[in-house]
Chain A
């Protein structure tokens, strides 16, 4: 079997005429943690939606497990998705089910297991994320970090070959953050799964990723191990890795000239203003 689990080549995708991706190439290898980094608004989440077949690109190839995602019909796409797990930014737990039932949900849908076996399976996965004791709570009673760990247990309950994380570190306190960081690497190593992590938290990613891509302007601008990225001579990479406010990625959203816009406003040229 090929070593490449996800392969994206020459990907082009537009939203409302604006090119989000313009000739993007990247790949994720079996058993490794691949990080996809980039400033906010570079379409990292959109990339995950493309890889999982939720949206279709204009051009380019998207291969997951050697299958062309773009041309798959719904039953084949669903069959493919059963081999992957995805962790959403906010957890996306089903709010009308308890923690236990949330983790049991995909199993109940796809497999006929005796209740005792199911219970054992769910508790094992909850134990792996440290929340066996929270099995009877409802999602509304969980903190953000706990919700994400439950969602992680749900994502791994079907033993996926590929795990996709969408911004797993956003909005977590330092303790929850390091718990999630450790879980991602541990799950990857213990279960031998392939992981794709989308995030902009450079330091957290550096500690777990085998290989990183830095996206900017719809393309991969740099790739390599975290150390290689840190030593990159490219200005845009340096700015992102060390978090400088201004540089190739400008601080200001594109706007007309500051002075002329302010003066223009006083002249009453803004519609609706009384002159």
Chain B
């Protein structure tokens, strides 16, 4: 079983190399990449914004309850901002991305395989890695940090809504403490994480689709695997990246 798992990791690594090799030629046709950014990004906006709002609101509620016990509810802005920027923003967005955009990518590519479209491309001497896989991979990688940014902004608005408007934290304290306490490094950590999650989730999605068995059952299984593997991988990577950033 361990050998099989290692073989799988190796196969994904080789696949990543082949996809990366096709990314430069794919970037020469920006239209298809832009189209995929739209598919993976713009079409996920509603769910990202909705979830960002709720996560922010919960953060405002819980944060206020916790900080109030120490009499430091003015620090709610800092707590919400750091929580969102460093952890919740990238992680929750990546989990949602896996469920919304990742599954769509896997089933789309898997069905193209099942209906001979990928084979037809190969027969027309067109590499499906360049034409189908690379633009979708790049689209996901570009879309993820943008989605995270949107999630964070809406999340902060939600925290402010609950903390300031409902619980009565002082508006000035909320924003000014956030401004003075949040460092550029905190923002960078979130950006690095979102890019890493973007690469991981997009890679898993296109790999599972590309290697799916060309049957209805095979595509279904591949779609499930995309969600499971992306989610576990996101949380694992999150721990490793957090440890790396704290250890600097």
Contact = CB atoms under 8 A, between A and B. Distances in A.
A118 to B, nearest CB: 15
Interface size class of A (residues with CB under 8 A): 20 to 34
Nearest to B116: A92
Contact of B120 (A84, A86, A110, A158): A86
Interface stretch (A74-82, A129-137, A196-204, A218-226): A74-82
Contacts of A86: 120, 123
A158 B121 CA distance: 14
B122 A54 contact: yes
B29 to A, nearest CB: 10
B125 A82 contact: yes
Contacts, number: 47
Interface residues of B, number: 14
Nearest to A75: B125
A188 interface: no
Contacts of A79: 125
A88 B126 CA distance: 16
A81 B124 contact: yes
Contacts of B177: none
Contacts of A82: 124-125
A82 B124 CA distance: 6
A231 interface: no
Interface in B82-126: 112, 115-117, 119-126
Contacts of A110: 125
A109 B126 contact: yes
Interface string B123-149: 111110001000000000000000000
B124 A92 contact: no
Interface in A74-105: 78-79, 81-82, 84, 86, 88-90, 92-95, 105
Contacts of A171: none
A110 B126 CA distance: 8
Interface in A30-55: 52, 54
A92 B121 CA distance: 9
Nearest to A77: B125
Contacts of A264: none
Contacts of A66: none
A106 interface: yes
A48 B159 CA distance: 62
B166 to A, nearest CB: 46
B69 to A, nearest CB: 55
Interface of A: 52, 54, 78-79, 81-82, 84, 86, 88-90, 92-95, 105-106, 109-110, 154, 158
20 contacts: A54-B122, A78-B125, A81-B122, A81-B125, A82-B124, A84-B123, A86-B120, A86-B123, A92-B120, A94-B112, A95-B112, A95-B117, A105-B124, A105-B126, A106-B124, A106-B126, A109-B124, A109-B126, A110-B125, A158-B124
| CB-CB nearest 5 A-B residue pairs | A92-B116, A92-B120, A78-B125, A106-B124, A81-B125
Given A54-B122, A86-B120, 18 more contacts: A52-B123, A54-B119, A78-B125, A78-B127, A81-B123, A82-B125, A88-B120, A89-B116, A90-B116, A92-B116, A93-B120, A94-B117, A94-B121, A95-B115, A106-B124, A106-B125, A109-B124, A109-B125
